Structure 1
Amino acid sequence: MEIRWLEAFVVVAEELHFGRAAQRLHVAQSPLSQTIRRLEASIGADLFERNTRSVSLTPAGRALLPKAYRVIQDLALATDAARTASGAVHGTVRIGFSGAFNHLTLPVLARSIRRELPEIDLQLVSRVRTGDGVAKLRNGTLDLAFVGLPLVADDIDSRLIARTRLGAVVPIDHPLADAPSLVARQLADDDFLSMPVDGSSAMTEALLRCCIAAGFRPRITQEVTDPYIMLTLVAAGLGVTIAAEDLASIMPRGARWIPLDDAPLFMLHGIGWMADEQSSALRAVLRLSEAILPTPPD
């Protein structure tokens, strides 16, 4: 068995499509299929169910996938350790972010990494909500993720990088659009837009916490996965939402962020990483992040 066979298996397992996997690997589809066949022959079991319309993992494939991630990660760590011994910081750091929520934090960190750590291959992965980030850190497809805090995950370390006050976002033709401030209870009869309510979004948890503290449960009529699209739908008049103040500077035309007079509630922004396994490249990025995105005072 060769490591490149496992690497090919992982990409096919992530894409569940041989054509897209071949594009990611920069190979033709036929050699990729042959590589998977060799791996299956080596193991003695089929790893994928294939037909003309879909590809799916077999029980053997599902059992192999987390182990394959681990083998690839262990090889990367071993390679990294050897490079570190030479005194240079090399390697890949994959950072997950959600989008608009990170418009103030991601650019400054990414620019600093490219400037201060030019030998590190920085890969940015978008549309990663807090729950997705935790899952991807655990399966080894991310090294660092922008997350909402607190995290309930003993195997993941995290650090606070920003604390921003929550406010209301309303359409400009909303009866309260010209108010200098308001209390959340005034929105109790409105339709709400939110990020997914499946537990994957810290922003949704903050919205619910804010409304429940004001004595009502919001009537969420639409969920969206992109934070800027959520603001855009508010601007279109489809409802209101609760969002952190750092989004006020990128509010689309037709929407307005208004501070809340309720007892202050905050969105806690952080970064998270696996507690037990850190490459020298990730350690260097974490050290740099402490200077670029310091933990705010209480």
Structure 2
Amino acid sequence: MTEIRWLEAFVAVAEELHFGRAALRLHTSQSPLSQTIRKLENDLGTRLFERNTRSVALTSAGHALLPRAYRVLQDMRLAREAALAEVEGVRGKILIGFSGAVNHLTLPPLTRAVRRRHPDIELDLTSRVRTRDGLASVANGTLDLAFVGVAESPDPSVVARLVAREEIGAVLPLDHPLAREKSIPLQSLAGDDFISPPTDGSSSMTEVLLASCMAAGFRPRIVQELSDPYMVLTFVAAGVGVTLMSSGISSIIPSGATYVPLDAPHHYMNHAIAWSADNDSAVLKAVLDVVEEVFPPVAS
């Protein structure tokens, strides 16, 4: 099993691109982690990382090894699950990624139901996973499930199942001139500063925000991008700007901000769960059965 530990160390460093953070993640110290990477490089006869005092980067050999390392580690996890299932029923770990506040109505019902039905399944939850990263992670096996906005996946093996559809509305500071209106036209926010999730194509919420504003005839002036959805709401509450969010967040908006519905035409945020059809984990299958129980079909 020594080689497996080497691959686990390699994947941690490859994802963090920082030996200190990777060591913390693996619950070890930096010196033995560096020694493990050197042993793997010596065994392979090639350097996997270019490293200096300021940065760590994958070499071409490292880039070539990474998807294969993902596959080996996933196969080992599935083999352990299969062996345990023969004598103990469904047990093991499920790796679930989610964005954050926007999943507060979809993640808890699933995790509670899984705990009730399968108490021997361990839930490993990772937050701040945006749509693009979630789709990539289920494709390479670093996540079993990811809560995402419905989007095209670069990997044809990735399956997405719609679990909720929420109307988009405006989140405004309480002292905004339109904060007390029952509903507003989106065009009325054309002159406002906007707070947004990242605009690098990784967030479905950002794509919906941009598309909604463009349909209303303007491009939003984004003055701040934040990866944490709840921090977006907090910055609105602080008076930095306005934003658009799905209606499900209306019950968790921080003091200092309020949710205001938009006039027709309405726009919607789709919430989905994605997984890889190539992932034949018995634990994943059991959780997907729970998904079917918890989330009734949603019209897209």
Report the TM-score, using the length of structure 1 for normalisation.
0.93
Distance 1:150 1:14 in 2: 24
Partner of 2:285: 283
Cα 1:180–1:117 shift into 2, 3 Å = same
Cα 1:52–1:261 shift into 2, 3 Å = closer
Cα 1:281–1:31 shift into 2, 3 Å = same
> What CA deviation, in whole Å up to 9, does each residue of 1:92-134 have, x standing for no partner?
2111111100111112211222222122221000111111111
> What pairs with 1:71-82 in structure 2 (closer than 5 Å)?
71-82=72-83
Could you tell me which runs of 5 or more consecutive residues in structure 1 were left unpaired when the two chains were aligned: none
Which amino acid counterpart does residue 150 of structure 2 have in structure 1?
L
> What pairs with 1:1-298 in structure 2 (closer than 5 Å)?
2-86=3-87, 88-153=89-154, 154-297=156-299
Cα 1:267–1:46 shift into 2, 3 Å = same
Moved over 6 A (4+): none
Root mean square deviation of aligned Cα: 1.9
- C-alpha deviation, 1:267, in angstroms: 0.8
- C-alpha deviation, 1:206, in angstroms: 1.0
Distance 1:194 1:226 in 2: 10
Q: Percent identity?
A: 59
> What CA deviation, in whole Å up to 9, does each residue of 1:227-278 have, x standing for no partner?
1111111111111111110011011111111111122211111111112223
Distance 2:7 2:214 in 1: 48
Which amino acid counterpart does residue 176 of structure 2 have in structure 1?
H
Report the TM-score, using the length of structure 2 for normalisation.
0.92
Could you tell me which runs of 5 or more consecutive residues in structure 2 were left unpaired when the two chains were aligned: none
Q: Is the CA contact 1:234–1:241 (under 8 Å) kept in the aligned structure 2?
A: yes
> What CA deviation, in whole Å up to 9, does each residue of 1:10-43 have, x standing for no partner?
1222233333333333334443333222221211
Q: Is the CA contact 2:173–2:256 (under 8 Å) kept in the aligned structure 1?
A: yes
Secondary structure of 2:223's counterpart equals strand
- C-alpha deviation, 1:53, in angstroms: 4.0
Which amino acid counterpart does residue 168 of structure 1 have in structure 2?
A
Distance 2:43 2:151 in 1: 44
> What CA deviation, in whole Å up to 9, does each residue of 1:181-239 have, x standing for no partner?
11111111111111111111111111112112222222222211111111111111111
Which amino acid counterpart does residue 291 of structure 2 have in structure 1?
S
Q: Is the CA contact 1:150–1:268 (under 8 Å) kept in the aligned structure 2?
A: no
Relative to structure 2, which stretch is displaced further, 28-37 or 7-16? 28-37
- The number of equivalent residue pairs is 298
Q: Is the CA contact 2:141–2:279 (under 8 Å) kept in the aligned structure 1?
A: no
Which amino acid counterpart does residue 217 of structure 2 have in structure 1?
G
Relative to structure 2, which stretch is displaced further, 110-119 or 88-97? 110-119
Secondary structure of 1:2's counterpart equals helix
- C-alpha deviation, 1:68, in angstroms: 0.8
Cα 1:261–1:83 shift into 2, 3 Å = same
